[in-house]
Structure 1
Amino acid sequence: MLYRKGAVEGEVPSFISNFTSSLKYDRKIAKATVKVVMAHIEHLCEINAINTNICHKILEILKELYGGILEKYPNGKFEDIHEYIEYYVISKLGEDVGGYVNLGKSRNDQVATAIRIVLKDEIIDLLEGIIKLQHTLLNKAKEHVETLAPGYTHQQKAQITTLAHHFLAFYDALNRDYERIHGSLERIDASPLGSAAMVGNTIPGYDRAKVAKKLGFSKIVENTEDAIASRDFILEAIFNIAILINNISRFVEDLILWSMNELGYVVLPEHHVATSSIMPHKRNPVTLEVIRAKTAKVLGYATSAYALLRSLPYSYNLDLQELTPILWKIIDDCKEILAVLSDLLSRVRFNEERLLKSVSENITLCFSDLAEYITLKYNVPFRKAHRVLGEISKRKHITLHSISEYLREKLSIDIKERELEEILNPIHSLKRKTVTGSPNPKEVRALINKRIKSLLDKESKLSRLRSKS
């Protein structure tokens, strides 16, 4: 081990070195770490802190390593990727040349910078996954603007909506998730490099902002201790992703319930279901169930991340190396979930007959419309109309005639059966709802068109951001 010379000496038993080494996790940041070292050495050369010839030799080896770091990735004996990179350069050039690699920097600022570089790209990947899922939702919404569906509260049928309206509800939740996750890029996009262990370096002319620009950052984390200690940008990313995952889980739960034989609203694609080893008739919603399970795990990971950071003193502690694997795992799971769900939704079919029957067989789903109608036309207090219609809803057999008779008896109003038929018609019910954001097909079409335009604009901006990373 390169660093076990000086204050700390002697061989470390392999079970101890394996326990404290982060090599198994550092593969994710390996290329970014070499990139960080290269930018640092380039700057030392620019400010004449290191002999130009030495700089060029070091950079030549680093460029070679950058191209093949994953193929040359070490199996053991190093504390981390940072020690390995320095060891590699020294092994090629000798200590008299390679020994300048770590001048003016520490593993502390180096790892924090590499994590931020990789996380920026990972966040952009995640945002692209959200956009793809949103495109799929809008395509499904366009197909089902007038497909009636029961809306639920308390897992009981409540009112009539459409599939398109339901899809847009999930779309809008994803939009907020996108905005939160995109917003976190502003905090991630700041370079810690040049902060060294925690108080910076003594190299005359070292310009942290200039090195940050080389690495694609828009700014620096100004306070050098904060630059080393801060991992709140990771927590922010994790919890924003956890909110996204929670929204996905709720939507997935609907699909699982809708695929039940008792409802049969949805027919899942063949490659998203599996049969039983003993029951030949089964079509189990396996991918949705695994999504549901993985979303639960993400919440657990997020809690672990928070607990890990909760009581860490400033500034750097090796505990932090246990945090980044949690981050990468959450992101990998989330990207996988987005891809799988996008594929499922692009292929899923809905049983429109079952959905129509579900809303048509229950006349009470329009009773809130009728209560409003009675109040507005006959000047009956809404609570009174609500109570009387509630009494009707308890009856075993409800007909237009029985409703008309009961309203005449209890409220002294004369609503004809033809009038009731119009009010309680599911399609007419939707068309009467003219408030912004309602499931009225005309309103839904406008909402879809607005979102298509917004999504294309968002996609274009993200593409430009990708080109800068």
Structure 2
Amino acid sequence: MKLWGGRFTKPTDQLVEEFTASIHFDKKLAEEDIKGSLAHVKMLGACGIIPQKDADAIRKGLLSILADYKAGKIEFSVENEDVHMNIEKLLIERIGPVGGKLHTGRSRNDQVALDMHLYLRKETKRIIALLADVLDAIVNVAEANKDVIIPGYTHLQRAQPVLFAHHMLAYVGMFMRDAERMQDALKRIDIMPLGAGALAGTTFPIDRTMVAEELGFSRIYDNSMDAVSDRDFILEFLSAASILMMHLSRFCEELVLWSSTEFSFVELDDAYTTGSSIMPQKKNPDVAELIRGKTGRVYGNLFGLLTVLKSLPLAYNKDLQEDKEGMFDTVDTLKGSLALFAGMIRTMQVRRERLQQAVKQDFSNATDLADYLVRKGLPFRQAHEVIGRLVLYCIEHGKFLADLTLEEYRAHSDLFDEDCLQVIDIKQVVDARDVHGGTGSRRVEQALVQAKQSLADLHAWIEANLEA
């Protein structure tokens, strides 16, 4: 007999049971469901809505179910549809009809909303902690190689040389914003929906503030219909997760390129690469490629839920059952990707000699020659044209700018003096960008100090907020 089956005259069709059941995925909410029920029954007893002895019996029963669940002794049934009904049915079996009093003053609608708020609050904090580990790894590899210069690219063409640390710190900026987005999303996750009932509240004199304090929520939904139908907090998390995965995918794309024979800028550790079943020489960057690929499924989870919610009338609709699998999958994907990525960066070897060679075999110092002519009084557009012709001359003669003689320079402009050769020295080119946010050594050193301070602040936040 269904716990809601009083008005029905025939059993649910087997296909309907299988189609509508969510227990095979929402069982992940079991601990949150029991935690929410413990807070709810404590309030029911304190407010005199049910006798205290009944509240104590329910609490004892819930704790025994929780212990058995953690020990792997609980088997859930599709017949009982979802995690909420399964746990309530188990409770009644263990302590008798008094277990049915647990559901006084609440609905599965506000109950499931509570479970998801609790789950996502916990997991978002864990994701922020994993993101901090990634940031630690990036900052460490940046500092260990802060004297290394690499080619900088636009359009995947050589542009201007930059410090390797400067390139790494660009990702630190991205991932710090991701951490901020996750922290900001927590403000909307940290709202308590329980007490909204099915959609209109309850006739029982419940104390929602007591339950919120018991569960550590900072706010309560002010509107019962909003409380049971709101999935903005999941959308916001999925959006932040999509941006984070996009940043990971960009970094992974560069690792795939950089570890190729054509680039050979870095070597990924054997622990984070795989071989070929037919080609014995291969060392494939599979982890980087798979993280890059998994970005698409996280995007899909975001668009899937957006589509579920499109045009959905108030308040609760069964469509909202589709809110969980994408959320669970995104949490698992993020946690796995971040953990692997941190290890991959931490063990990555930067090929200094190859990079030193690479920055001498291009025209990425050309802009500095144009700037040189500007300082001599030539308008930038004319200077740009002069250096363009100079580069063409080099290409036609198989040379680079550093290979030219002063006579060759002066053949293109009589403004060139001997000091022009100093201007195109790669270290000079890098250090000349001595502006806030630039790649100059002094500025990058300052940026590393700032990154470490920001990371220290993030770790302090995690220590104060991470849930067990």
Q: TM-score range by the shorter chain?
A: over 0.9
Please list the CA deviations of residues 256-311 of structure 1 after superposition, one character each: whole Å capped at 9, or x if unmatched.
Answer: 01111111111111122222111111111111111111112211222112111122
Question: Are 1:130 and 2:131 an aligned pair?
Answer: yes
CA distance in 2, matches of 1:278, 1:401: 44
Secondary structure, counterpart of 1:275 in structure 2: coil
Does the alignment pair 1:67 with 2:67? yes
| Amino acid paired to 1:214 | E
1:244 aligns with 2:216: no
Whole-Å separation in 1 of the counterparts to 2:168 and 2:225: 46
Give, in whole Å, the separation in 2 of the partners of 1:302 and 1:99. 37
Q: Is the 8 A contact 1:2 1:87 kept in 2?
A: no
Give the gaps of 5 or more residues in structure 2: none
Question: Conserved in 2, the CA contact under 8 Å of 1:374 and 1:380?
Answer: yes
Q: Report the 3-state secondary structure (helix = DSSP H, G, I; strand = E; otherwise coil) of the residue aligned with 1:11.
A: coil
Matched-pair contact (CA < 8 Å) for 2:423–2:429: yes
How far is the alpha carbon of 1:411 from its aligned partner?
4.0
**SS of residue in 2 equivalent to 1:100:** helix
Amino acid at match of 1:349: Q
Aligned residues of 2:47 and 2:207 also touching (Cα < 8 A) = no
- Retained in 2: the 8 A contact 1:272–1:344? yes
Alpha-carbon distance between aligned partners in 2 of 1:48 and 1:9, rounded to the nearest angstrom: 35
Q: Deviations over 1:42-97 (max 9, x none)?
A: 111111111222222222211211222352131321111111222222223333x2
Q: Aligned with 2:79: secondary structure?
A: coil
Match of 1:80 in 2: 82
Q: For the residues of structure 2 that align with 1:296 and 1:123, how far apart are their CA atoms?
A: 20
Whether the aligned pair in 1 keeps the contact of 2:256 and 2:285 (CA below 8 Å) is yes
- Asked if the contact 2:26–2:324 (Cα under 8 Å) also holds between the matched residues in 1, the reply is no
- In structure 1, what is the Cα distance between the partners aligned to 2:77 and 2:403? 81
The code of the aligned residue for 1:390 comes to G
Alpha-carbon distance in structure 2 between the residues aligned to 1:403 and 1:238: 58
Q: Given the superposition, is the C-alpha separation of residues 247 and 406 from structure 1 closer, same or farther in structure 2, using an over 3 Å criterion? A: same
Other-structure match for 1:23: 23
- Aligned partner of 1:384 in structure 2 is 382
Counterparts in 2 of 1:54-453, with a 5 A limit? Answer: 54-70=54-70, 71-95=73-97, 97-204=98-205, 206-362=206-362, 364-376=363-375, 378-395=376-393, 396=395, 397=397, 398=399, 399=401, 402=404, 404-405=406-407, 408-416=410-418, 419-453=419-453
The one-character-per-residue Cα deviations of 1:429-451 (angstroms, maximum 9, x if unpaired) are 11222101222222212211121
Give the partner amino acid of 1:119: L
2:32–2:118 Cα contact (<8 Å) kept: yes
The RMSD of aligned alpha carbons is 1.6
| TM-aligned CA distance change 1:251 to 1:401, over 3 Å | closer
Q: Which amino acid aligns with 2:83?
A: I
One-letter amino acid of the structure 1 residue matched with residue 143 of structure 2:
K
SS in 2 for 1:152: strand
Q: 1:424 to 1:325 in 2, by over 3 A?
A: same
Structure 2 letter corresponding to 1:117: L
Q: 1:383 to 1:40 in 2, by over 3 A?
A: same
One-letter amino acid of the counterpart of residue 417, structure 2? I
Q: Give 1:90's aligned amino acid.
A: I
Distance between the aligned counterparts of 2:184 and 2:323, measured in 1?
21
Give TM-score scaled by structure 2 length: 0.95
Percent identical among aligned pairs is 32
Q: Contact 2:390–2:412 at 8 Å: present in 1 too?
A: no
Deviations 1:194-231 (A, max 9, x none): 00001110113x22112111111111011111000100
- Given the superposition, is the C-alpha separation of residues 307 and 234 from structure 1 closer, same or farther in structure 2, using an over 3 Å criterion? same
* Alpha-carbon distance in structure 2 between the residues aligned to 1:322 and 1:334: 20
CA distance in 2, matches of 1:25, 1:434: 54
> Following TM superposition, where does structure 1 have runs of at least 4 consecutive aligned residues deviating by more than 3 angstroms?
398-412
Equivalences, count: 462
Structure 1 residues 194-203 or 6-15, which shifts more?
6-15
The residue type paired with residue 358 of structure 1 is: A
Preserved CA contact (<8 Å) 1:301 1:330: yes
Contact 1:4 1:10 in 2 (8 A): no
